[in-house]
Structure 1
């Protein structure tokens, strides 16, 4: 059985620079990632992305311009179990509004593309940033 998750790659444009929101997990290897989480029973992926972003970063759909046609799905194994995570691209409407973290995360960073890719470390996530960055610049 594949575990499903969903989230948003949140970006902002501040001082003419594109920056991506990464959250540091308070558990495990304390990895950096965008807001995302497991799909609850009876919930669709998009609803999960909205719920998880609200819970983990404090941003609601009113805070975000969501590009519903811009998605990318990452597939990888976690402890031998297949996982599929769909991400939508979402722009923070007020670029000065900082996230409010849940206890699942210890800190956040807004980073330009290359720094976000370096911090994220995982190749598939680096590809996600490149993919969406190209979409933003079109």
Structure 2
């Protein structure tokens, strides 16, 4: 009998500030108050990328019009939450205007824009650190500034 898999999606949002690439991390208001990119569960009938757009708007106040979505980068994380399998899909999204304000929902208590090294240190889970490392290399290889 197949178990129901929880499906979630989000964007690893980044911006270029001077010559630095910075990543948006949100601190959860629940559990261990870990840091994470904006993400959330898919609604019935909703595609994963639609869920990523909706969740980024709900959790960080960033509408798709504020973002350049880079769907050529996709990373799927699989892990268990409370004994159930979970699949989370991440894409990259570049903030078009680095001055666009982040507006948090009640699901998060804080946000930070961090360079690669600081963001890596703040991310608690190894698979998130791998996601960040792969995304950072991908962005650097894009070669645009």
Distance 1:80 1:117 in 2: 27
State yes or no: 1:57 paired with 2:60: yes
In the TM superposition, 1:1-138 aligns within 5 A as: 1-138=4-141
Higher Rg: 2
3-state SS of 1:40 partner: coil
CA shift digits 1:61-107 (9 cap, x unpaired):
11000001111011111111111000010000001222100000000
Query: Pairwise CA RMSD of aligned residues?
Result: 0.7
Q: Structure 2 stretches of 5 or more lacking a match?
A: none
Distance 1:87 1:5 in 2: 9
> In the TM superposition, what is the alpha-carbon distance from 1:31 to its structure 2 partner?
0.9
> In the TM superposition, what is the alpha-carbon distance from 1:50 to its structure 2 partner?
0.4
3-state SS of 2:45 partner: coil
Q: How many residues align?
A: 138
Normalization by structure 1: what TM-score? 0.98
The runs of at least 4 aligned residues of structure 1 exceeding 4 Å deviation read: none
